[in-house]
């Protein structure tokens, strides 16, 4: 038997993490078994479906690295649905019922209802084992709003059968739909696919995730700068632990290890911190050069957004710090946006009162800054180590705080910042001497 699965999103909202999880689980299963995948845009709900959402789902799933073998749209398969409905009516398995329209009260429509045999239906779920439903209470449920307007249950059964779908892998919110769908399959004489209903994942607050909540849209993670490898990897690990226990894996490696029956039986909680960890790990895997190529344009545009002049040399020297401090691109935008890096690109405006260290005084600050100026003027190579070597003995002798605070504050204009050796090495000799001179002029008469 060759495996065939489907990605059947309803295009009624942006591609969300739940859609991606449905797709990745189907993908891993299909590829593991050398099977195929049909992407079906289930646009039976005409009012809520849109091509814009459909395009978004396709775009984000592709961006995540997923692929499929064919594409279809439920609304374009209506002829098959009508044919199935006609067959059901002709064989008396279903009937037309003239009823008042729910959408337009006062008008009457010919709804199609399945003649429900009202028996117990049992199916074997690959994740949850045998599940039995008494279908009597469902009554003669509707399967179409009109002969050419199928409802989801009818359409999904006809489309799955026409495609020869062997495995229906979907969230457990669909368990209660399964008995209805099985009754329709049986009425049409179709073979039953195998079912696997996996537990849904929960929001960080353990609430059910909603596809209408903007922050679970894949596009919003993408806009924050999450890398597709990190996101798909994290999503695949929601509710699945590969036997190797590995965390960072390519899709191919996951395919190797995937087993549907190993999905956890209880819902995983979506943990943004863990997703950030994945992203950071992927960033750390980049070579120095490729990380720089990734981060420098982001840094440049964030700096320019603050109206500050860009400087290639300074930017290049900031790369290691950025690598240490960020998990995802939006962290960088936040740090820059908060002004934390302004002093690297423009001279700060220090406040004279804060130049001397709290326990020191303006006269000592003048002496120490003047010493630092002379010492650094004679230094040709500015690295954190050379700057430190130049000043360390003096600072140890005259009090590290008293010496290094005024220098650090003169360079950054901030009460908290990296140490003055790092800052001086990044901004370079000219800016360092200019900023020391400015601070000296501010405290000249204090
Ligand atoms: N279109 C349905 C949904 O988005 C999926 C139907 C199914 O998997 O059978 O939830």
To test the pocket of ligand 1, the residue of 11, 154, 170, 211 to mutate (highest count of ligand atoms within 8 Å of its CB) is: 170
Question: Which of 158, 174, 194 gets mutated to test ligand 1 (max ligand atoms within 8 A of its CB)?
Answer: 174
219 C-alpha to ligand 1 centroid (Å): 20
Architecture of the CATH domain 352-443: Orthogonal Bundle (1.10)
Tell me the best of 4, 6, 7, 10 to mutate to test the pocket of ligand 1, counting ligand atoms within 8 Å of each CB and taking the most: 10
CA atoms within 13 A on the CB side of 12: 12
Query: What is the C-alpha separation between 393 and 381, in angstroms, rounded?
Result: 18
- Please report how the helices 288-305 and 329-337 are oriented relative to each other, as an axis angle in degrees rounded to 10: 40
Measured at the CA of 211, the angle between CA 206 and CA 213, to 5 degrees, comes to: 70
Other C-beta atoms closer than 10 Å to the C-beta of 402 total: 19
Ligand 1 pocket check for 13: Cβ under 6 Å: no
Predicted confidence at residue 201, as pLDDT, reads 85
Three-state SS at 99: strand
Q: Whose CA is nearest to atom 8 of ligand 1?
A: 170
Tell me how far the alpha carbon of residue 147 lies from the centroid of ligand 1, in angstroms. 22
Give me the pLDDT at residue 209, please.
61
CA torsion through residues 303, 304, 307, 308, sign: positive
> What's the whole-model pTM score?
0.90
Mean pLDDT of successive 10-residue stretches along the chain, which has 446 residues: 95 94 97 98 94 98 98 97 98 96 88 97 96 96 95 97 98 96 98 96 69 68 96 95 94 96 88 95 96 98 97 96 95 95 97 96 97 97 97 97 98 94 97 98 92
pLDDT in tens, 233-287: 999 999 999 999 999 999 999 999 999 999 998 888 889 999 999 999 999 999 9
State how far the alpha carbon of 358 is from the alpha carbons of 350, 386, 403, in Å: 15, 27, 12
| Helix/strand/coil for 422 | helix
C-alpha R_g of the chain = 32
Between CA 64 and CA 71, with CA 65 as vertex, the angle to 5 degrees is: 100
Ligand 1 touching residue 159 (CB < 6 A): no
Q: Which two tokens stand for residue 212?
A: 């209408």
Query: Residue 186, SS3?
Result: helix
1-15: per-residue pLDDT in tens? 799 999 999 999 999
DSSP 212-228: TSGGGBHHHHHHTT--H
Which pLDDT score, from 0 to 100, does residue 214 have? 40
By most ligand atoms within 8 Å of CB, the mutation choice from 42, 46, 168 for ligand 1 is 42
Q: How many angstroms separate the CA atoms of 91 and 96, rounded?
A: 12
- Are the beta carbons of 11 and 41 closer than 8 angstroms? yes
- 411 vs 405: CA distance, rounded Å: 10
Tell me which H or E stretch contains 365. helix 362-377
Cα dist from 76 to 7, 44, 287, 299, whole Å:
16, 10, 48, 47
CA 443/CA 445 separation, integer angstroms: 6
Any bridge partners for residue 142, and if so which? 113
What tokens does 377 get? 């003027």
Ligand 1 mean position to 390 CA, how many Å? 68
Kindly state the tokens that stand for 256: 């190797």
Q: What is the DSSP letter of 341?
A: T
Atom of ligand 1 nearest to the CA of 19: 4
**Ligand 1 center to 149 CA (angstroms):** 18
Q: Domains of the chain: which residue ranges?
A: 286-345, 352-443
């Amino acid at each position: 038997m060759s495996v065939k699965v489907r990605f059947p999103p309803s295009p009624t909202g942006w591609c969300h993490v739940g859609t991606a999880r449905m797709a990745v689980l189907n993908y891993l299963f299909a590829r593991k078994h050398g099977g195929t995948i049909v992407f079906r845009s289930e646009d039976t709900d005409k009012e809520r479906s849109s091509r814009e959402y459909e395009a978004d789902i396709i775009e984000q799933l592709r961006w995540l690295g997923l692929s499929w073998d064919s594409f279809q749209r439920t609304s374009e398969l209506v002829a098959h649905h009508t044919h199935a409905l006609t067959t059901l009516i002709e064989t008396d398995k279903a009937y037309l019922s003239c009823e008042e329209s729910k959408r337009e009260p006062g008008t009457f429509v010919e709804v199609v209802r399945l003649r429900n045999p009202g028996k117990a239906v049992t199916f074997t779920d690959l994740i949850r084992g045998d599940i039995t439903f008494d279908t009597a209470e469902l009554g003669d449920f509707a399967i179409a709003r009109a002969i050419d307007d199928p409802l989801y249950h009818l359409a999904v059964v006809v489309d799955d059968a026409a495609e020869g779908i062997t495995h229906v892998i979907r969230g457990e919110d669909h368990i209660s739909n399964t008995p209805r769908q099985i009754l329709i399959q049986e009425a049409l004489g179709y073979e039953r696919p195998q079912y696997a209903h996996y537990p849904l994942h929960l929001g960080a607050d353990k609430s059910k995730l909603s596809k209408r909540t903007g922050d679970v849209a894949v596009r919003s993670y993408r806009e924050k700068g999450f890398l597709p490898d990190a996101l798909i990897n994290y999503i695949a690990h929601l509710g699945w632990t590969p036997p190797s226990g590995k965390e960072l894996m390519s899709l191919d490696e996951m395919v190797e290890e995937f087993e549907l029956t190993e999905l956890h039986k209880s819902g995983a909680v979506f943990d943004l911190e863990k997703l950030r960890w994945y992203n950071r790990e992927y960033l750390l895997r980049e070579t120095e050069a490729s990380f720089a190529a990734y981060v420098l344009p982001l840094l440049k545009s964030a700096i320019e957004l603050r109206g500050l002049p860009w400087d290639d040399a300074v930017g290049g020297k900031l790369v290691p710090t950025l690598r240490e401090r960020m998990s995802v691109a939006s962290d960088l935008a936040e740090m820059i946006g908060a002004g934390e890096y302004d002093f690297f690109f423009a001279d700060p405006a220090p406040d004279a009162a804060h130049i001397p260290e709290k326990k020191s005084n303006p006269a000592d600050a003048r002496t120490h800054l003047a010493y630092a100026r002379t010492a650094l003027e004679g230094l040709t190579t500015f690295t954190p180590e050379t700057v430190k070597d130049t000043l360390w003995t003096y600072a140890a002798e005259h009090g590290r705080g008293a010496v290094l605070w005024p220098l650090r504050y003169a360079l950054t204009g901030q009460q908290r910042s990296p140490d003055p050796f790092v800052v001086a090495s990044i901004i370079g000799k000219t800016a360092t001497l200019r900023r020391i001179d400015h601070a000296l002029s501010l405290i000249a008469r204090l």
